[in-house]
Amino acid sequence: MNLTFMNLEANQFSGPVPLELGDLVNLETLMLSSNQLTRNLPVTFSLLRNRIDFRINDNNFSGRIPSFIQNWEQLNRLEMHASGLKGPIPSSLSLLKNLTILRISDINGPSQDFPVLRNMKRLATLYVL
């Protein structure tokens, strides 16, 4: 399938995210914010290497922020505000050199040092709370 853009925001979807979304390998934008989504982000999302924009704000996910996000080298925008995911914020996020917008807040978990952002030369908007 050649789908590149999917916006499912504010639809009151609930339950786990379907694993099959990871099969949409051409997907560049995935917005799942403002739903009632639960459980971990599917490991099949690791296959989504063309990702440019990923937003999962205001959900009820569980588990840690997945490390596979570091492999999304094309990523420009990452938003995980009140997603339900737990920290710590992976230091590997600094590998996302194309990131221009990073918004991560309301992450429960152990205290940690501020993430190293030295390699993120294009970062224009940072919201970490």
For position 104, which CATH number holds? 3.80.10.10
Per-chain mean pLDDT for the chain:
92
Structural domain of residue 40, as residue ranges?
5-128
- The answer, yes or no, to whether residue 1 has pLDDT greater than 80, is no
Close Cβ partners of 39 (under 8 Å, ≥ 6 residues apart): 15, 16, 17, 61, 62, 63
- The answer, yes or no, to whether residue 111 has pLDDT greater than 80, is no
Q: If you average pLDDT over residues 58-81, what whole number do you get?
A: 94
- What pLDDT score was predicted for residue 63? 92
Q: If you average pLDDT over residues 38-45, what whole number do you get?
A: 95
Domain count, the chain: 1
> Residue 45: what are its φ and ψ, rounded to 5°?
-65, -20
- The answer, yes or no, to whether residue 17 has pLDDT greater than 90, is yes
**Global model pTM greater than 0.85:** yes
The residue type found at 26 is N
